Amino acid sequence: MSGESRPFGSLPHTPTIQIKDFSVAIPRSDVDDLQSLLRQALKRPPRKTYENTSSSRKLGISREWIVETTKYWEETFDWCVLPICTQ
């Protein structure tokens, strides 16, 4: 694609197999476990290294991104607002 963007609902080409609907169900207990792991990760963020403090993404994601995203997932994102979370 030369600079053009397509909506996520558009296929890049004609599919060669039939597309079928599917469902995903994640037990609430698994979501609770994930949130517990995120809380633990926030207590001890990754140590600073040359690679994760570089502003270039050539060396991977930054420490700042890891810390901010972990905090967002644990404190802000509502995992069970998605229809995949089951009680």
Domain that holds residue 61: 46-79
In a domain, 63, yes or no: yes
DSSP code string of the chain: --S----TTS-SS--SS--------EEHHHHHHHHHHHHHHHHSPPPP-HHHH-S-GGG---HHHHHHHHHHHHHT--GGGSTTEE-
Whether residue 69 lies inside any domain: the answer is yes
Does some domain include residue 25?
A: no
pTM above 0.75, yes or no: no
For residue range 16-54, list pLDDT tens digits in order.
888 888 888 888 888 889 888 888 888 887 888 888 887
Assess if residue 59 is contained within a domain. Answer: yes
For the chain, the domain total comes to 1
- 31 within some domain: no
73 is a domain residue:
yes
